[in-house]
Structure 1
Amino acid sequence: MGIASINLKAIVAASIAFVMISVAAQAQEADLNDESELLEALVMADPAEAKRLERQLQALWSKSGSASADLLLKRGRDAMEAEDYGVAIEHFTALTDHAPEFAEGWHMRASAFYNAQLFGPAIADLERALTLNPNNYTAMLGLGHILEHINQPELAYDAYVRAQSIHPHHEDVSKAVSRLAPQVQGKSI
């Protein structure tokens, strides 16, 4: 009877683990479907609809799936809002250590580095963020800003054009493309 009870407990535990993994995989798949649908709609949207879709995408990209990661993200964003970039970098570093596959952590730490005038680390973090989420037009916009700041207008323009292809109605992206187009037209990019 004792062995049967142990086997039953093991079977129940294995079944619960399987169900939990399946539910998590389905939720992640649903998020991916939502993201691709939102991105497709964003390209075709009018400017008012684009703002709504942008908010939904930002909310989706801010989901870490971990309460502790969410707390670190919130604390880092709060520090950014208070313009305490050193503290923000600390929180976002803890976040990237805790959740290295969470693109928004890298993106936000890049923003903190940028605001602290640490452009090399900001570029490295944006590269990581864009590797994890190549559709993050705000990370591309940030990369363009840095490249423009360090006098790389052709590369900045490329980043802005890529961001615009994902979010054609983003006002800052459109302004940046218009601003740099005269500088880079006629040059090989």
Structure 2
Amino acid sequence: MASEANVFPSHAFLIRSLENRWVSSSGGSSHCSGRRFIGYVIPVLLMLQWVFCCPETRPGSPRVTHLRRSLDSKNPYQYMPTEPGKSSDQIGYEQLCTRWNREEAEAVQRCKRTLQSDETTREAKVLALNELEYWAMRRGGYDAEVILIGMLKDPDKEVSGQAHISLKKTWAAHFNMWINNRVDRGRLLMSENKLEEAFEIFDKVAYENPLWGEGYHLRAKCWNAMKEVDKTIEDLQRALEFCPNNYLVMVELGITLMDRKKEYVQAANLFKRALDLCPFLPVEGFLRDLFKKVPSLKEDWEAEKKANEFSLTEPPARLLPHTWVERFEATERPNQAFLRVGAELEQWFAEVRRRKADAATQRKLWSVLVIKWDPDKWPKKLRSFTTQVHEALKARRERELAKAKPEAIEEWKDKDEEEFEEAQNEYDEEAVAFLKRLRAQRTSR
């Protein structure tokens, strides 16, 4: 009777007492039959009593639904592949990625609304910036990075300074903790002037993570310390290729080109790009030196500043496609070029909101941008880049114009927020159970 006692431990003493009575009052011949009778009948009666007398176990009750879901979530067959060539690990990983991407999108949009609201306090904005920093570092989210760049021109110096600090942390950190440990070890060796050992670490990091721009940036610092100018410039250019908004690398590359290669025009362009993103960078001294050496650069600089002045009559020149289509990234790295344009657009969006332009003015500005970026007006090789910018502008135009109408302020609701509410109603408990099992397996190793 070990099985019945294990199933109903609280009634085990009752079963054994009944067995003892039956044995003592019956002969030896009826011992086996009585034992079998009690062993089968008593558990069945107790089970029926438990089912019909407990109200929260009746069919349709929340307790039964929860039990069924928990049992279903433990079903291993739900992760069995339904297509050839797929594994259960791949299916589970895709479900987790979908869930994490949804959580990231919800958090980023929530922070974005907090930063764009006129009624938000400074403390709430700083907390929103900290959360964006987390998502940009932990998940490598480009959306979070673009919003942080948009806050660099905020009139509140504390908010813009916090955005600057968050971006520096974002670009300097990898989402993998072990890679960060190796990078810290390499920085320590560089501070101790052990350049060869530090170079081995940074070279391996750049080789194993070819899409991480900071790996090339760190290796470029080693090349620079070892007086390898050409290799320093090459790695700095690679860092900008994979992290096109890193204005710190722009400044370092500009200084290297100006001092070592005497490439004054390229250095001036890099300084101007860095100042467009972060207006409080201390590069005015380098620009003055450039203007003394090449006076024509000052004239070009003043003309470009005048063309890019903010106006409610037309968008600035840096947002128009003729500024971008001739660049190498427009055809060879369209996603990176789109990220770069997105940072410029986000800063312009923030300035338009601060000027509190009416709906008619915004409609005119948005129409100019949408028409200029029409992909049908540009060669086929630019189709990927121009299409991304054009679609982003159209989606953003509808939302911004809806918020600009006075009569629709109370009725308007962000489309992303509606999608997030629907997603919350579709909360997947199976994915959560799988995540818990995955974490338990990793911690047990």
Q: Which TM-score bucket, shorter chain as reference?
A: 0.7 to 0.9
Report the residue type matching 1:67 in the other structure: M
* TM-fit CA distance, 1:24: 5.1
Alignment of 1:37-116 (within 5 A): 37-45=147-155, 48-116=158-226
Q: Distance in 2 between the 1:137 and 1:92 partners?
A: 21
1:170 matched to which residue of 2? 281
Quick check: 1:47–1:169 contact (8 Å CA) kept in 2? no
Cα 1:182–1:34, aligned 2, differ >3 Å: closer, same or farther?
A: same
Q: Is the 8 A contact 2:223 2:232 kept in 1?
A: yes
Q: Which amino acid aligns with 2:147?
A: E
Distance 1:23 1:186 in 2: 54
Counterpart residue number, 1:158:
269
Q: Does residue 1:126 correspond to 2:247, yes or no?
A: no
**Per the alignment, do residues 45 and 132 of structure 1 end up closer, same or farther by CA in structure 2, a change over 3 Å counting?**
farther
Contact 2:79 2:92 in 1 (8 A): no
Q: Which amino acid aligns with 2:182?
A: L
Q: Distance in 1 between matches of 2:90 and 2:196?
A: 45
Structure possessing the higher radius of gyration over alpha carbons:
2
Q: Which of the residues 92, 98, 106 maps onto 1:16? A: 92
Number of positions where the alignment pairs a residue of Structure 1 with one of Structure 2: 184
In the TM superposition, what is the alpha-carbon distance from 1:45 to its structure 2 partner?
Answer: 4.8
How far residue 47 of structure 1 moved from its aligned partner, in angstroms, is 5.2
Cα deviation per residue 1:94-147 (whole Å; 9 max; x = unaligned)? 110111111111111112211221111111111111010111111111111110
Aligned residue type for 2:80: A
Change (3 A) 1:17 1:176: same
Of the two structures, which has the highest relative contact order with CA contacts closer than 8 Å and spacing of 6 or more?
Answer: 1
Tell me the SS of whatever aligns to 1:186: helix
How far apart in 2 are the matches of 1:174 and 1:100?
A: 33
Cα RMSD, aligned residues only: 2.7
| CA distance in structure 1 between the aligned counterparts of 2:164 and 2:256, rounded to whole angstroms | 22
Structure 1 counterpart SS, 2:296: coil
1:30 offset after TM fit, Å?
Answer: 7.5
Q: Structure 1 131/50 Cα, relative in aligned 2: closer, same or farther at 3 Å?
A: same
Q: Is the 8 A contact 2:220 2:236 kept in 1?
A: yes
- What residue identity is the alignment partner of 1:163? A
Output the CA distance in 2 between the equivalents of 1:24 and 1:102: 21
From the superposition, tell whether residues 48 and 9 of structure 1 become closer, same or farther in structure 2 (CA, over 3 Å): closer
The 3 A distance-change label for structure 1 pair 77 and 25 is farther
The answer on whether the counterparts of 1:130 and 1:136 sit within 8 Å (CA) in structure 2 is yes
Matches within 5 A, 1:170-189: 170-171=281-282, 173-186=283-296
What is the alpha-carbon distance in structure 1 between the residues aligned to residue 140 and residue 189 of structure 2? 32
Deviation at 1:58, TM superposition (A): 1.3
Q: In structure 2, list runs of 5 or more residues that go unmatched.
A: 1-74, 82-87, 105-135, 301-445
AA in 2 matched with 1:176: F
* Counterpart contact for 2:79–2:91, Cα < 8 Å: no
Give the TM-score normalised by the residue count of structure 2: 0.38
Deviations 1:36-92 (A, max 9, x none): 111111134565544322210011112322233212221222223223332222111
